């Protein structure tokens, strides 16, 4: 009887999370013209740096990391052919499996989207980043609380692994760079032709903070979002909740579907390369069962983009 009551309460709480998200989306105020002008100006400034000749330091870092990544990727393919795997399995994801997790994913995504569109921290780029950080933190806390009622919290969330597990995350982050950058290069022209030039607003704001268009401390906000809070929230949502639930239909459909959804949540220019990165993160989570591993891999991948951008602007 008590267990049945708990299930009913959990169902009510999940529905409440969804309703709050929908309410915030419906009642979200329109973006003020001044904010739109600021964001457009940041995007144009970013495009100017992106289309300029690469700075020697940025080019050197890019060459070193891509060559290293290409070598590691080639060795990984050889290992796959000889042994049947790239990473030896050290654990299995223990998140609740089943298509009900897809419903949990949708509730949390709508909840997060609603909180960001509500713009609780004012307008402009700084308000946007603060709202994104707040929404992602609250989404993770909410998801952890609700999913934690289904079993042992550490197992459900994949809170396992030591130095070896983290090393696997760093390895996948570096190995991913070359294939993801190659796909990004080939895809960018196609995406621009059909959808126009789209810019990642977080990177655009990062550039604006470096060259003085925004307060200098905005750099720290972007780093926290891109390298700490963002990777944690997205890995929890896409790998633990979505992929963890979809594993009931088999690894291949699960990893492809979660990666495709992950890619679609980004700009058209980023969609295909990020989908590829999502496949690699899904594989990493499948072989380690560790949120720490995919969190680190995602954070390092984003940090690489920020460092390259910083070297190009400075």
Q: Among 3-7, 43-47, 278-282, 308-312, which stretch is predicted with the lowest mean pLDDT?
A: 3-7
How close are the terminal C-alpha atoms of the chain, in Å? 64
Collect all residues with Cβ–Cβ distance below 8 Å to 31 and sequence separation of at least 6: 123
65 and 304 in contact (C-beta within 8 Å)?
A: yes
Q: How much is the average pLDDT of 8-28?
A: 93
The structure's pTM equals 0.94
| Number of neighbouring beta carbons within 10 Å of residue 190 | 12
143 and 244 in contact (C-beta within 8 Å)?
A: no
* pLDDT tens, position by position, 189-200: 898 888 888 888
32 and 123 in contact (C-beta within 8 Å)?
A: yes
Q: Which two tokens stand for residue 295?
A: 């969190």
* pLDDT tens, position by position, 203-245: 999 999 998 888 889 999 999 999 999 999 999 999 999 998 8
203 and 304 in contact (C-beta within 8 Å)?
A: no
Nearest-5° Cα angle at 238, 235 to 242: 140
């Amino acid at each position: 009887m008590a267990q049945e009551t708990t299930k009913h309460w959990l169902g009510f709480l999940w529905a409440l999370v969804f309703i709050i998200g929908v309410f915030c989306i419906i009642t979200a105020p329109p973006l003020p013209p001044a904010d739109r002008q600021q964001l457009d100006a940041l995007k144009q400034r970013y495009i100017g740096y992106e289309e300029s000749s690469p700075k020697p330091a940025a080019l050197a870092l890019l060459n070193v990391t891509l060559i290293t990544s290409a070598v590691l990727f080639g060795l990984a393919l050889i290992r796959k052919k000889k042994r049947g795997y790239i990473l030896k399995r050290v654990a299995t994801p223990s998140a609740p499996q089943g298509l009900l997790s897809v419903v949990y994913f949708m509730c949390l995504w709508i909840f997060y989207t609603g909180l960001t569109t509500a713009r609780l921290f004012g307008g402009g780029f700084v308000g946007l980043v603060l709202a994104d950080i707040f929404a992602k933190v609250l989404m993770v806390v909410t998801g952890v609380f609700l999913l934690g009622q289904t079993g042992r919290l550490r197992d459900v969330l994949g809170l396992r692994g030591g130095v070896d597990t983290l090393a696997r995350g760093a390895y996948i982050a570096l190995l991913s760079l070359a294939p993801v950058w190659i796909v990004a290069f080939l895809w960018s022209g196609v995406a621009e032709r059909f959808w126009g030039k789209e810019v990642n607003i977080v990177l655009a704001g990062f550039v604006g903070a470096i060259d003085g268009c925004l307060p200098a401390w905005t750099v720290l906000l972007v780093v926290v979002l891109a390298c700490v809070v963002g990777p944690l929230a997205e890995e929890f949502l896409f790998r633990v909740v979505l992929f963890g639930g979809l594993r009931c239909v088999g690894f291949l459909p699960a990893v492809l579907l979660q990666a495709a959804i992950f890619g679609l949540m980004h700009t058209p220019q980023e969609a295909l390369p990020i989908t590829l990165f999502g496949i690699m993160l899904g594989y990493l989570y499948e072989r380690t069962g560790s949120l720490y591993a995919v969190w680190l891999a995602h954070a390092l991948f984003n940090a690489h983009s920020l460092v390259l951008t910083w070297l190009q602007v400075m």
